[in-house]
Structure formats: structure tokens, C-alpha cells
Amino acid sequence: MNKKDILAKTEGFVRMKIRGDPGHDWSHVNRVRKLALYIGKKEKVDLFIVELAALLHDVADYKFYDRNHKIGTNIAVQWLEKLRLDKNTVSQVRHIMDEVHFKGAKVKYAIKTLEGKVVQDADKLDAIGAIGVARTFSYGGHFSVLMYVPQIKPTMHTSFIQYKKHSASTINHFYEKLLLLKDRMHTKTAQRIAKRRHKFLETYLKEFYREWNFKVSP
């Protein structure tokens, strides 16, 4: 089976498997794929690995599977083995699946390959900017997370186990993750894109607090 057919079959598989809130649906996966391919071309990496991992990265997002982050990896590996891909390709995708997700403010990234860093950058870019804000509130609504609780301050998580618990409020999640992502991009291409999206987060929060505190804009 050639690479084009593998990718086409994998897209069909992911479309069938993906589930979650509207922020973790096929449109998210497709945006991450496009971003990853754009970054990958600039960084000159193996685009087949990048596209394959980007397609599969949320096939079973731990947030929707009782916080078990291994389920997604196992599903992806079983799929790749069914397609009879070589062990090196399966190993590379497995590593990306295991390490792609953000695991806490004080938890260091363990992604090793440049292909993995490209996919991780793409996934994080979709978490910030205008779409990032929309996805964050979509997720909060899906799990009945309160929008804002002023008296509860953000937590800078020191472990993945701690981070996997829901934030006390959606606004806290901005500080626990979203605002940290600009400075945690691996590639120069992603760093450039992240600057504009990060600025939007800051502008959004400023306006959110203005309205929350009923300060009428001049």
C-alpha cells in the first residue's frame, strides 16, 4: 500500500473514531494536520510521519476516556499494525502519541523527534488564538466547568496526574496552559505564528475582565 492510500484510509478511520466536544472533533484534527504540514515543510521533516501522527493524535483523547492517555496510543498502534506499516514508522508515531499532549505547567516536554515537535507545535497552536478561546469554552461547557471563579486561583501543575483533573474554571485554564504555550513552541515557524495568537489571548482576557467587572468601554 502506498503512502497516499495509507493516509486516505487513516483519515477515514479517524473520522469514524473521533469523539469528544466540538473542540476535539474532526475539524480540530484537520486543522492540526494542515498546521503540521505547513510547519513540517518549513522545517524539512518527514511529512508522512507528521501527517500520520497529526491525523491520529486525538483518536482517543484521554479527556474523553476516563483520563487514560494510553488508550489513544494503543488504538493508533493497532491501526498502523493492521495496515502493516514498518516497525520504525509505528515506533515514531507511538512516541508522538505518548508525548504530544500538554501535561502540566511545570512538566517538561519529553518529545524527542523533530517530527514529533512539529505535530506538538501544531496541536498547541490550535489551542491558542480565536479558535483556541472557542475550543476552551466548548470543552468547559462539555464538562460543566464553571466559566470563572475569581476566588480560586490557577494551579501550576507539577505532574500529569494532577493536570488531568479539570480546572476550577475555564478562565483558570488560560493561565494553567494557554498563556504558557507561546514560549513552549519548538520550531521557529510555530513561534512566529504563536505570537499573534498569544496576543489575542491577552486581548480577550482584558476584555473579559472589563465586562465581568462591568466596566463600560468608552
Tell me the average pLDDT across 93-99. 92
The average pLDDT across 122-137 equals 97
Cell numbers given for 44: 524539512
Whether the predicted pLDDT of 21 surpasses 80? no
Q: What is the mean pLDDT of residues 137-149?
A: 93
Give the model's confidence band at 100: pLDDT under 50 very low, under 70 low, under 90 confident, else very high.
very high
Q: Is the pLDDT of residue 170 over 70?
A: yes
The predicted model scores a pTM of 0.93
Residue given cell 494553567 in the structure block? 176
Give the pLDDT of residue 125. Answer: 98
Three-state SS annotation for the chain? CCHHHHHHHHHHHHHHHCCCCHHHCHHHHHHHHHHHHHHHHHHCCCHHHHHHHHHHCCCCCHHHCCCCCHHHHHHHHHHHHHCCCCHHHHHHHHHHHHHCCCCCCCCCCCCCCHHHHHHHHHHHHCCCHHHHHHHHHHHHHHCCCCCCCCCCCCCCCCCHHHHCCCCCCHHHHHHHCHHHCHHHCCCHHHHHHHHHHHHHHHHHHHHHHHHHCCCCCC
Cell 515537535 maps to which residue? 117
pLDDT at residue 183 greater than cutoff 90: yes
Which residue would you say has higher pLDDT here, 142 or 203? 203
Banded model confidence at residue 189, pLDDT cuts 50, 70, 90: very high
**Residue range 55-67: average pLDDT?**
77
Cα separation, 156 vs 176, whole angstroms: 6
Task: Average the pLDDT over 93-98 and give the result.
Answer: 92
Domain boundaries of the chain, sorted by first residue: 3-212
Q: Give the pLDDT confidence score for residue 35 in this predicted structure.
A: 98
Q: Which pLDDT score, from 0 to 100, does residue 182 have?
A: 98
The predicted pLDDT at position 24 comes to: 85
Whether 186 shows a pLDDT value over 80: the answer reads yes
pLDDT in tens, 30-48: 999 999 999 999 999 999 9
Sign of the C-alpha dihedral computed for residues 176, 180, 186 and 190 taken in this order: positive
End-to-end CA distance of the chain: 62
Work out the pLDDT band at 218, boundaries 50, 70, 90. Answer: low
Q: Which CATH architecture has domain 3-212?
A: Orthogonal Bundle (1.10)
Report the percent of the chain where pLDDT is more than 70. 95
How long is the chain? 218
Neighbours of 148 (CB within 10 A): 14
What's the burial of 107, exposed, middle or buried (CB within 10 Å: 0-12/13-18/19+)? middle
* Residue 65 reports pLDDT greater than 80: no
pLDDT at 113: 96
